[in-house]
């Protein structure tokens, strides 16, 4: 059983991450190797806001780096 607080069971019994829509947008671009500045330009937000979203995602997934986060994301069965 996954004890990570970012995971929860959806109504079909499958694990799902609890990300905001914007966090999912940021993560979707992060896995392509974009920098905070590049992600910010794509989404129309500041690189500081991108940094804050990434920090939140790292905490929710209990990961410590962008690389670890990208690997975790790429191994998820559902698309972001």
Q: Which CATH class is domain 18-75?
A: mainly alpha
Q: Are 61 and 72 in contact (CB under 8 A)?
A: yes
**pLDDT tens by residue, 4-17:** 445 444 445 445 67
Q: Are 57 and 42 in contact (CB under 8 A)?
A: no
> How many C-beta atoms lie closer than 10 Å to residue 49's C-beta?
16
Q: Who has greater pLDDT, 29 or 15? A: 29
Domain spans, the chain:
18-75
What is the rounded average pLDDT of the residues 24-39?
95
Q: Is the pLDDT of residue 62 over 90?
A: yes
Cα 57 from chain centroid? 5
Say how far apart CA 24 and CA 21 lie, in whole Å: 5
């Amino acid at each position: 059983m996954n004890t990570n607080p970012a995971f929860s069971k959806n109504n079909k019994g499958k694990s799902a991450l609890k990300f905001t829509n914007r966090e999912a947008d940021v993560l979707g671009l992060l896995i392509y190797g974009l920098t905070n500045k590049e992600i910010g330009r794509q989404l129309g937000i500041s690189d500081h806001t991108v940094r804050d979203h990434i920090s939140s995602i790292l905490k929710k997934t209990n990961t410590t780096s962008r690389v670890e986060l990208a690997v975790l994301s790429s191994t998820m069965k559902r698309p972001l």
